[in-house]
A and B are shown apart, each in its own frame.
Chain A
Amino acid sequence: MHCLKKLEAVVVEMQSGVKGSEQKLNVTTIPHVITGKDVIAWITNKMKSTTEESEAFGTMLVAYGYIYPLQNHRKLVMCNDSSLYRFQTPYFWPTQKWVAEDSDYAIYLAKRNIRKKGLLEPYEQAHYNHLHEWLNHKWDFIVMQATEQYKAGKERRKPDRVVFDCQERAYWIVNKPPRRTHSAMDSGLELLIDPNSDEKIPFDTYRRMNLFYQQAIMSSKVKSSVSLGALNKYVATYKNHDPFLAPCLPSNPWLTDNDSYWTLNMRQVEVPTKMRVERWSFSLFELLRDLRGRDDFKVFLKKEFSGENLAFWEAAEELKWGTASSMTSKAETIFKTFLVPGAPRWINIDGRTMGLTVKGLDHPHRYVLEAAQTHVFLLMKKDTFFRYLKSPVYKEIQKKALNPEAHNFSPAQLEHNAQNRSPGIHPLILWQQAEAEKAKAAAASVPVDVKALMSKLDRIK
């Protein structure tokens, strides 16, 4: 893990920075014991952070195994009080390459077994049984190693032995944590492909990479000042629409448990809110993405008798995202309605695109209308969109748009809101409503048969 290098640097500094003392624990005196308070104070001082952050950083050091607790050895947290800790010996530090081996764990458990004469904790017993089964072929070796280590340990002085046992136990608690102990070494996944290994790159790969790099050089680039300007502009435009930065009217449902914000901004609402209408003016993409905005745009287009562009765009979207089986029939309908010369809703695109599209429709696939759709989108963006923003339709909806009063709930009212939260509309019902609406729209958008209408008018005359 990459971050361990930085952590180790901090721990080394800390070892000379935090004062340790001797403490009596159980019968033996343990040297170099530090208190949680001192550690956290040192971190706060060094990193100029708040106590909360230092506590989190301290807990992280314990969770990785650089510091271990003496009293409550199963809980890997750093407490900001006089609880006792010790620095773990560098031999047991987590490093980038050393993975805790199962055979080492087996030796450790066997050793504990010998010492405590069969009194392992339940989770350790479970691990032991599992390892005994899995490492059975090595078991003699493991028992032999365990006995050797046990004998070697007995020859040490008691205080050293206690210290070493504590360190070893702490190491294994971090690497094979018992239930409900959160350890940071419990990382789970091993990479399938080791990025550090020297791979033999075949000849062909070099050739392909070179082609890619040549293309990359030739690709058009934009000056970074332009992109930065665009980023800035985007952030500034949306600043008031970001609920994390600006309050939303009438009130943020998460704060007041009152969901009028969501009811006012639903899909099929009659009168939209002012903020929503403002968002429509940001870009054509935003206008079309909000279905209520799209409806308003359709009203404008109907007045101008130029609804075929948007209708074509919508039909192309349906083709792109629809089911594969419906593709041929959709392609045919689109061809008959929009592209055939003299079609009822003929779209005006340049000859070359038209030719390509018609040819592609012989073998329709998902992206066959992509070129035509982009062309139509650009037409709408450069021309129709700006006229819409200046039109009476848009100005009217701007006037009608709601600007709800900000809620001002007293604490008692907030309590009341929390208890009377409405369950909201079940998503299935919303989905059924959307489907019903789509069906209605499909029926209504059947192109008007002018001839039939004319003959009807003649008959009435």
Chain B
Amino acid sequence: MGEMEELRKEMENLKDQITAARKTFQDSTLQEAAAGVTVVGRVQLKTRKTLRGHLAKIYAMHWGTDSTLCVSASQDGKLIVWDTITTNKVNAIPLKSSWVMTCAYAPSGNLVACGGLDNMCSIYNLKGKDGNVKVMRELAAHTGYLSCCRFLSDTEIITSSGDCTCVLWDIETGTQKTVFAGHQGDAMSLGVSPDFKYFISGACDFTAKLWDIREAECRQTFGGHESDINAIGFFPNGNAVITGSDDATCKLYDLRADQELLTYQDSSIMCGVTSLASSKSGRLLLAGHDDFNVNIWDMLKAERVGVLAGHDNRVSCIGVSSDGMACCTGSWDSFLKIWN
């Protein structure tokens, strides 16, 4: 028992050293650095389209890499690919298990993936020979629900699960290539860096971790939240990470300085953040909350510059298209709205 105590003391000591080291590198705050930047002013986005067709709560959506297609997953057991400009449904894919919690669109546009309480990630091929959309692979090895998945290419996909691990899969063979273990609570969300070399995951142990895909290691851990991290994303230049949590705040962490730069909070916001997305230049952060609203933050000044109110139930997912033109929100009221 004596050794355990020693190890624990050493761990606390190391953690203190890390905090001290971070402080010495903190020679400026974002407020000082952004003092000269002009204020953005009130941002008002309006609903341009409403996508109707789901019959139950929408849990996830993801934009394709061209500007107008997106996929959404709902607990009525359907995965729908929408052409958002005409609001037509390009594909309506029936799922084997209706308890779906996440969906993803491959960068090439050929594949979509989904998963949920069935502990499996199912990959569907949209460009099949006879035009039918069929299951291409079922990736099963997780011992917990699938909370999020993201494609790296047509051959690799990363998934995060309630069993506290993230896994990199080889789609062709359907096997696990790397298991990223280290979180001590359910892994709730993940995001891939713009150069596809790193990914970040947020978990219910209140921390976010940065993983190197190639070396299969955790490079950095970021703490500071007081509750589960539900949503996570990269800043567009790939050097900073934004997290959203149940404690109703969002935080911005820098990867190179290894510390938290800013917290986005307001005393009138009491509901947990369920999802987040940043605009193309990184100036605006859109965060969806449990109180049915989406708050728009000015990332440099940490001020709220707008609200998107229009859903009748919790906003469960949000995404900004790749050319930055439109933002799509999905909600438990079974509608998707496109804002601009």
Q: 8 Å CB contacts to A: which residues of B260-303?
A: 261, 267-268, 270-272, 279-284, 290-293, 299-300
Cα distance A48–B283 in the bound complex, in angstroms:
25
CB of A192 within 8 A of CB of B338, answer no
Cα distance A184–B90 in the bound complex, in angstroms:
32
List of B residues within 8 angstroms of A325 by Cβ: 172
Across the interface, name the chain B residue whose C-beta is closest to A206. B7
List of B residues within 8 angstroms of A448 by Cβ: none
> Interface code B306-340, partner A: CB below 8 Å = 1, 0 otherwise?
01010011100000000111110000110000101
Across the interface, name the chain A residue whose C-beta is closest to B101. A189
The residues of A with any CB-CB pair to B shorter than 8 Å are 1-3, 6-7, 10, 47, 49, 52-53, 56-57, 59-60, 182, 184, 186, 189, 191-193, 195, 199, 203, 206-207, 209-210, 212-214, 216-217, 219, 221-232, 234-239, 241-245, 248, 252-255, 259, 262, 265, 285, 320-325, 367, 370, 421, 423-424, 427-428, 430-431
Task: Report if B77 contacts A (CB, 8 A).
Answer: no
Size category of the binding interface on chain B = 35 or more
List of A residues within 8 angstroms of B283 by Cβ: 235, 238-239, 242, 244-245
Task: Report if B27 contacts A (CB, 8 A).
Answer: yes
Across the interface, name the chain B residue whose C-beta is closest to A267. B66
CB distance from B290 to the nearest CB of A (A): 7
Task: Report if B52 contacts A (CB, 8 A).
Answer: no
Cα distance A62–B153 in the bound complex, in angstroms:
45
List of B residues within 8 angstroms of A214 by Cβ: 14
Across the interface, name the chain A residue whose C-beta is closest to B331. A182
- Given known pairs A213-B11, A253-B85, the reply for A222 and B284 (CB within 8 Å) is no
Q: Can you list the 8 inter-chain pairs with the closest CB atoms, starting with the nearest?
A: A238-B281, A242-B281, A225-B28, A213-B14, A228-B33, A2-B227, A321-B153, A206-B7
List of B residues within 8 angstroms of A423 by Cβ: 86
Chosen A-B contacts, 11 in total, with CB atoms closer than 8 Å, are: A195-B205, A213-B15, A216-B220, A221-B257, A225-B28, A230-B239, A236-B37, A238-B283, A255-B340, A324-B172, A431-B127
Across the interface, name the chain B residue whose C-beta is closest to A214. B14
CB of B338 within 8 A of CB of A421, answer no
Cα distance A266–B147 in the bound complex, in angstroms:
34
Cα distance A324–B171 in the bound complex, in angstroms:
10
Cα distance A2–B15 in the bound complex, in angstroms:
26
Given contacts A224-B29, A227-B240, A244-B43, 20 further A-B contacts (CB under 8 A): A59-B292, A191-B162, A193-B204, A216-B258, A229-B33, A231-B300, A234-B237, A234-B282, A235-B283, A242-B280, A242-B281, A244-B279, A248-B325, A254-B48, A254-B338, A322-B155, A424-B83, A424-B85, A428-B127, A431-B127
Q: 8 Å CB contacts to A: which residues of B120-172?
A: 127, 144-145, 152-156, 162-164, 170, 172
List of A residues within 8 angstroms of B240 by Cβ: 227, 231
CB of B14 within 8 A of CB of A210, answer yes
CB of A255 within 8 A of CB of B281, answer no
List of A residues within 8 angstroms of B279 by Cβ: 242, 244-245
CB of B325 within 8 A of CB of A243, answer yes
CB of B195 within 8 A of CB of A285, answer yes
Cα distance A1–B291 in the bound complex, in angstroms:
13
List of A residues within 8 angstroms of B110 by Cβ: 431
Q: 8 Å CB contacts to A: which residues of B2-34?
A: 3-4, 7-8, 10-11, 14-15, 17-18, 21-22, 25-30, 33-34
CB of B155 within 8 A of CB of A225, answer no
Across the interface, name the chain A residue whose C-beta is closest to B293. A56
Across the interface, name the chain A residue whose C-beta is closest to B219. A219
Task: Report if B82 contacts A (CB, 8 A).
Answer: no
CB of B268 within 8 A of CB of A203, answer no
CB distance from A172 to the nearest CB of B (A): 19
* Contacting residue for B313 out of A2, A182, A241, A431, CB 8 A: A182
* Contacting residue for B324 out of A195, A221, A244, A424, CB 8 A: A244
Across the interface, name the chain A residue whose C-beta is closest to B313. A182
CB distance from A282 to the nearest CB of B (A): 10
CB of A193 within 8 A of CB of B86, answer no
CB distance from A94 to the nearest CB of B (A): 12
CB distance from A259 to the nearest CB of B (A): 7
CB distance from B128 to the nearest CB of A (A): 11
* Contacting residue for B28 out of A7, A206, A228, A370, CB 8 A: A228
CB distance from A135 to the nearest CB of B (A): 23
CB distance from A198 to the nearest CB of B (A): 12
List of A residues within 8 angstroms of B15 by Cβ: 213
List of B residues within 8 angstroms of A53 by Cβ: 268, 293, 307, 309
Across the interface, name the chain A residue whose C-beta is closest to B161. A192
CB of B281 within 8 A of CB of A10, answer no
CB distance from B335 to the nearest CB of A (A): 12
Cα distance A234–B252 in the bound complex, in angstroms:
15
